């Protein structure tokens, strides 16, 4: 009897233990072709792509698809960088809405993304 209760207790404990949910990220950059600030930050966006080996989706707010995503994400200014963080059923958004804020986003990238190792020969 004690064994049965102990087994049931252990079974319940195993069922209750859940592995930590993994975070996934989606990076979205919103711009317009005639935006001087967008032109100025574009090399930095390219740097983030290369330095952290990530895909940043770029949406031109002057075309229908970009505008649709811009409306969905309530884009009010360009340039804007949105980071969507998914944790199972939970979703969080980080928003960077100007050149200075976008540059500050690198701190977030450095904390969450391991830079790829460079393969140089000695």
DSSP state of 33: T
Domain count, the chain: 1
In a domain, 11, yes or no: no
DSSP state of 79: S
Q: Of 116, 114, 94, which Cα lies nearest the Cα of 105? A: 94
In a domain, 101, yes or no: yes
In a domain, 48, yes or no: yes
Domain containing residue 87? 18-112
In a domain, 4, yes or no: no
Question: Distance of alpha carbon 66 from its chain centroid, rounded?
Answer: 18
Q: Tell me the C-alpha distance between 101 and 98, whole Å.
A: 5
In a domain, 72, yes or no: yes
CATH code: domain of residue 49: 3.40.30.10
Of 81-85, 96-100, 118-122, the one with minimum mean pLDDT is: 118-122
* pTM of the entire predicted model: 0.75
In a domain, 44, yes or no: yes
Give yes or no for residue 88 having a pLDDT over 90: no
In a domain, 64, yes or no: yes
DSSP state of 117: P
Q: Which residues of 22-40 are buried (b: 16+ CB within 10 A; e: fewer)?
A: eeeeebbbbbbeebeebee
CB-based contacts of 87, cutoff 8 Å, min separation 6: 21, 22, 23
What is the structure's pLDDT at 69?
95
In a domain, 9, yes or no: no
Give yes or no for residue 28 having a pLDDT over 90: yes
Average of per-residue pLDDT across 63-80: 96
Average of per-residue pLDDT across 72-99: 94
Between 40 and 88, name the one with better pLDDT: 40
The chain-wide mean pLDDT, for the chain, equals 83
């Amino acid at each position: 009897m004690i064994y049965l209760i102990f087994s049931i207790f252990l079974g319940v404990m195993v069922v209750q233990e859940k592995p930590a949910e993994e975070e996934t990220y989606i990076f979205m950059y919103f711009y317009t072709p005639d935006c001087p600030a967008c032109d100025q930050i574009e090399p930095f966006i390219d740097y983030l792509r290369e330095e952290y080996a990530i895909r940043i989706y770029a949406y031109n707010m002057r075309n229908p698809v970009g505008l649709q995503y811009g409306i969905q994400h309530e884009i009010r200014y360009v340039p804007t960088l949105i980071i969507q963080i998914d944790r199972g059923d939970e979703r969080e958004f980080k928003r960077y809405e100007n050149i200075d804020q976008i540059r500050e986003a690198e701190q977030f990238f450095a904390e969450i993304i391991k830079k790829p190792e460079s393969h140089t020969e000695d």
